[in-house]
């Protein structure tokens, strides 16, 4: 589906280190100097899903194919980015292209890691990024207001659009992000063409020291308190440890390393699953001897739309879908056993796909 999540934050907070840990297809240069990342690094990330492995145990396919999200490592923003400071226009343009934001915030002390903003202050760091994104959005909204005002005098539709734009302007001027503005679906259409930065959903990563990776610290707690009204999630992790785990190719070595740090799984797994959920994504599966595969769709998609992610012809020529719920598939152990037990359903074009459905599509082109 081409979905992207962008990693953002101030310089030297651990963005590229996090990217190196999550990416399965690229490694970003992580260095202790400003603007180490200029062009965004892009990598594909497998979405951890225990259900995929469970289905594979039953089917024993030739290959297993997880679903993926594209992660973009965007260079560190600085104060004044909205006015072009630190190549700000370029970096803000990179953010405009992603579907969700992973905001990395420094929550550790280390005199060897450069910091331009004085003492460690995660709340202030968050506000710097928020302000720059809000200022850029305000600029975009004001430009559209100037284009819309004249037409709104005679066109009721443009008048309604102008009203939405003015609400957005007032909201941004109060230092608030558009994602927190209560706009109806039809109202959001008025700003859809602006691809506003502060409308994108955000997940915060509190990058802590090793001693705080399980419990958090005063900095991560301050961050959590500051976003309590945003309905946002904060993932506490040590990016350096996660990068070390990701570099280990031997599963035994990885297990021993995690055991030493009292980890049941990499924190990255939580981060990736949370990002997936942040984008309101569902997974359905196809299961056969050639492959067991996970497919990404949006929550609420109907069966023909879900079929289109395999091939557009599947949607065009959709006839029906054979569906087995994941729990039923696991309980009965195979497609044939689930069918014999009456758990295989035939669904039509109006069926809304559920997370975890195991599906087979019938189509004609």
Instruction: Tell me the mean pLDDT in the region 358-362.
Output: 97
Q: What is the CATH number of domain 4-48+68-115+201-277?
A: 3.40.50.300
Judge whether residue 30 has pLDDT over 50.
Answer: no
d(Cα 19, Cα 21) in Å, to the nearest integer?
5
Judge whether residue 36 has pLDDT over 60.
Answer: no
Q: What is the DSSP string of 138-173?
A: HHHHHHHHHHHHHHHTT-HHHHHHHHHHHHHHHHHH
12 is in an annotated binding site: yes
pTM confidence score? 0.83
323-354 confidence digits (pLDDT tens): 999 999 999 999 999 999 999 999 999 999 99
231 is in an annotated binding site: no
Give the residue range(s) of CATH 3.40.50.300 domains in the chain: 4-48+68-115+201-277
Instruction: Determine contact, residues 116/128, Cβ cutoff 8 Å.
Output: no
16 is in an annotated binding site: yes
CATH architecture of 129-198: Orthogonal Bundle (1.10)
d(Cα 212, Cα 203) in Å, to the nearest integer?
19
Give the residue range(s) of CATH 3.10.20.30 domains in the chain: 300-363
Give the model's pLDDT for residue 26.
44
Judge whether residue 226 has pLDDT over 50.
Answer: yes
Longest dimension (CA), the chain: 71
Band of the pLDDT at 38, cuts 50, 70, 90? very low
296 is in an annotated binding site: no
Instruction: Provide the β-strand partners of residue 236.
Output: 206
126-141 confidence digits (pLDDT tens): 999 899 889 989 999 9
342 is in an annotated binding site: no
17 is in an annotated binding site: yes
Instruction: Determine contact, residues 319/364, Cβ cutoff 8 Å.
Output: yes
Give the residue range(s) of CATH 1.10.150.300 domains in the chain: 129-198
Give the whole-number percent of the chain exceeding pLDDT 70: 89
CATH of 300-363, one of 3.10.20.30, 3.30.429.10, 3.40.50.10470, 3.40.50.2300: 3.10.20.30
Give the model's pLDDT for residue 19.
84
Task: Select the more confidently predicted residue: 55 or 83.
Answer: 55
SS3 279: coil
209 to 22, 212, 240: CA distances (angstroms):
18, 5, 9
């Amino acid at each position: 589906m081409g979905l992207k999540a962008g990693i953002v934050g101030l310089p030297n907070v651990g963005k590229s280190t996090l990217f190196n840990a999550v990416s399965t297809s690229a490694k970003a240069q992580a260095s202790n100097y400003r603007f180490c990342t200029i062009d965004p690094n892009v990598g594909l990330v497998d979405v951890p899903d225990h259900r995929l492995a469970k289905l594979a145990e039953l089917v024993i396919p030739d290959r297993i194919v997880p679903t993926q999200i594209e992660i973009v490592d965007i260079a560190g923003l600085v104060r004044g980015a909205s006015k072009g400071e630190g190549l700000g226009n370029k970096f803000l343009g990179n953010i405009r292209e992603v579907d969700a934001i992973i905001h990395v915030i420094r929550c550790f002390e280390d005199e060897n890691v450069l910091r331009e903003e004085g003492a460690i202050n995660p709340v202030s760091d968050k506000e710097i990024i928020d302000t720059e994104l809000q200022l850029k959005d305000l600029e975009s909204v004001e430009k559209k207001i100037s284009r819309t005002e004249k037409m709104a005098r005679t066109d009721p539709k443009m008048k309604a659009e102008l009203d939405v734009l003015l609400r957005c302007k007032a909201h941004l001027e109060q230092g608030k992000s558009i994602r927190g503005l209560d706009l109806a679906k039809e109202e959001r259409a008025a700003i859809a063409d602006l691809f506003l930065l502060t409308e994108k959903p955000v997940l915060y990563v509190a990058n802590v020291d090793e001693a705080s990776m399980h419990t958090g610290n005063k900095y991560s707690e301050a961050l959590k308190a500051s976003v309590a009204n945003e309905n946002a999630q904060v993932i506490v992790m040590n990016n350096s440890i996660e990068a070390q785990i990701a570099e280990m190719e031997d599963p035994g070595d990885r297990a021993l390393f995690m055991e030493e740090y009292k980890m049941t799984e990499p924190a990255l797994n939580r981060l990736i699953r949370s990002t997936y959920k942040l984008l309101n994504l569902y997974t359905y599966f196809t299961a056969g001897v050639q492959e067991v595969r996970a497919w990404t769709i949006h929550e609420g998609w109907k069966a023909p739309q879900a079929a289109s992610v395999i091939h557009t012809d599947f949607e065009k020529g959709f006839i029906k879908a054979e569906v087995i719920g994941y729990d039923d598939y696991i309980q009965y152990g195979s497609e044939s056993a689930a069918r014999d037990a009456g758990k295989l359903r035939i669904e039509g074009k109006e069926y809304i796909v559920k997370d975890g459905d195991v599906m087979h599509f019938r189509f004609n082109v």
